[in-house]
Amino acid sequence: MSESIVRALKCRECGQEYDIAPVHVCEFCFGPLEVAYDYDKLQGKFTRELIESRPQTMWRYKELLPIDNDPTVGAQNGFTPLVRAKNLEKVLGVSELYIKNDSVCYPTLSFKDRVVSVALSKAVEFGFTTVACASTGNLAGSVAANAAAAGLESYVFIPHDLEQGKVLGAGIFGTKIIGIRGKYDDVNRLCSEVAGKYGWAFVNVNVRPFYAEGSKSLGYEVMEQLGWKAPKHIVVPMASGSLCTKVDKSIKEFIKLGLIEDNGTAVYGAQATGCSPIAKSVKEGTDLIHPVIADTIAKSLAIGNPADGYYANRVINESGGWAEDISDQEVIDAMKLLAETEGIFAETAGGVTLGCAKKMIESGKLPRDESIVLCITGNGLKTQEAIADEIDKPRIIDASLKEFDVLAKADGVENI
């Protein structure tokens, strides 16, 4: 592997720098730590040709991901399709729309496989043998699967009322699942105590700065797949707001390295109204995030006190984007719209992204005549409960052509 350009961990608030270690909070001001790089070391070396010559995984951008050696976890992850959504373009009345489809991310069908492969590869470099996470579901499955494949012990902590599909989707990998009576924010509360006591690598606690960097690979891929350019507008679902900030960082890095032109990309955030502290702050024109008690079917976005809310708010404002929120019914309607127009079955968070994009197109916040990318981050097979009552049940008939003829006629199908 080429020389690492990771320089340090740097406080996003006061700028204090720390040696690379499994820590995530500035000792001085309690601000969050972020990985800082020496980009100059890559000047002229990290080219489009080099990237294109590599396997189609998220690791084709490995110089910009914070591990020292080749990945030991999730070496096949990433490089999901970017789909030109022609049918949705017609429905929404826009000229150029793409879906970044991380609902088929390898191996657990959500974008969490990106962040987890970075977090666990880094955890292995640090010498951890047990990894853990607090999760709203997708992360649990991803940690469990990637840990199993890497031979690591894993614990996942989830809210007790999580969708069955997500519980099953973690349990199958032999992880130890702990259901916590409470909301995701309560799960966090316990996890931080466990993280402090047990010396495990908690992907979204003590190895969080490395974990979060994995999200950038989604942005890199979008730019490469668009033919080495950034979209004019990109819509991102928001839970903690981390993805929003990392997509923005990915674009800025590619510009800095001369891989793309500055396209003035605006970043937009999407939330469900039942948990919309970041969207609310953007709409109200403040940068203070009021914690809320989450109540939405979009459980993977149900973080009432978003750690990166302030930074997501800043990215949205500085990039010229906007944030929106929609009701649970609108989430379901958007999930169906995406499935029926583009054949993509996204989880509830995908409904949030499309539904909010639709609302912003209708309100004029998202222009109709410029390129828009929607980030779909998880697979609908995991959140079937949310739409179980919304989908037509099969019409049951005997194996009789006569009976089918009756149905076909009712559907208006001509008898040939």
Partner 1 sequence: MKQRVYLTFSEATVREPIIWKLAREFDVITNIRTAEVKEHMGLVGLEIEGEQDIVDAALAWLVQQDVHVEPIEQNVIEG
Residues near partner 1 (CB under 8 A) are: 13, 25, 28-32, 112, 133-140, 184, 187-189, 191-193, 195-196, 202, 204-205, 208, 211-212, 239-243, 286, 288, 290-291, 300-301, 303, 305-308
Alpha helices, H only, 97-159 = 112-126, 138-150
Joined tokens for residue 398: 């005997």
CB nearer to partner 1: pick between 282 and 303 = 303
Asked if residues 154 and 145 have their Cβ atoms less than 8 Å apart, the reply is no
In the complex with partner 1, the residue whose CB is nearer, 141 or 351, is 141
- Considering the complex, state which of residue 253 and residue 308 has its C-beta at the smaller distance from partner 1: 308
Please report how close the Cβ of residue 29 comes to partner 1 at its closest, in angstroms. Answer: 5
Nearer to partner 1, 271 or 341 (CB): 271
CB-CB contact of 66 with 125 (8 Å)? no
Query: What minimum distance in Å lies between the beta carbon of 219 and partner 1?
Result: 16
Tokens describing residue 36: 């800082």
Instruction: Tell me how crowded residue 4 is: count the other CB atoms within 10 A of its CB.
Output: 17
Residue 276 or 371: the one with the smaller Cβ distance to partner 1 is 276
| Minimum distance of partner 1 from residue 28's CB (angstroms) | 7
Contacts of 329 by beta carbon, 8 Å cutoff, 6+ apart = none
Min separation Cβ 78 and partner 1, Å: 18
Rg of the chain (C-alpha set): 22
CB of 299 to partner 1, least distance (A): 10
Nearest to 337 by CA among 316, 321, 363, 361: 361
Nearer to partner 1, 36 or 301 (CB): 301
| DSSP string over 42-62 | GTTTS-HHHHHTS-SSGGGGG
Q: How far is the CB of 94 from partner 1 (least distance, A)?
A: 28
**Nearest-approach distance from CB 240 to partner 1, in angstroms:** 4
For residues 239 and 107, what is the distance between their CA atoms, to the nearest angstrom?
Answer: 22
Q: How far is the CB of 190 from partner 1 (least distance, A)?
A: 8
Q: How far is the CB of 374 from partner 1 (least distance, A)?
A: 18
- Would you say 185 or 224 has its CB closer to partner 1? 185
Residue (332 or 349) nearer to partner 1, CB: 349
List, in sequence order, the alpha helices (H) in 133-225: 138-150, 164-171, 184-198, 208-213, 216-225
* Cβ 386 to partner 1 shortest distance, Å: 18
Smallest gap from Cβ 396 to partner 1, in A, equals 40
The residue count for the chain: 416
> Which of 288, 407 has the CB closer to partner 1?
288
CA–CA distance, 156 with 131 (Å, rounded to integer): 9
Of 82 and 307, nearer to partner 1 (C-beta) is 307
Closer of 265 and 271 to partner 1 (Cβ): 271
Q: Are 91 and 355 in contact (CB under 8 A)?
A: no
294-318: burial string, b at 16+ Cβ within 10 Å, e else: bebbbbbbbbbbbbbbbbbbbbbbe
| Alpha carbon distances (Å) from 49 to 54, 224, 294 | 9, 11, 45
SS3 category, 244? helix
CA 293-199-186 angle, 5° bins:
10
Query: Hey, how many other C-beta atoms are within 10 angstroms of the C-beta on 279?
Result: 26
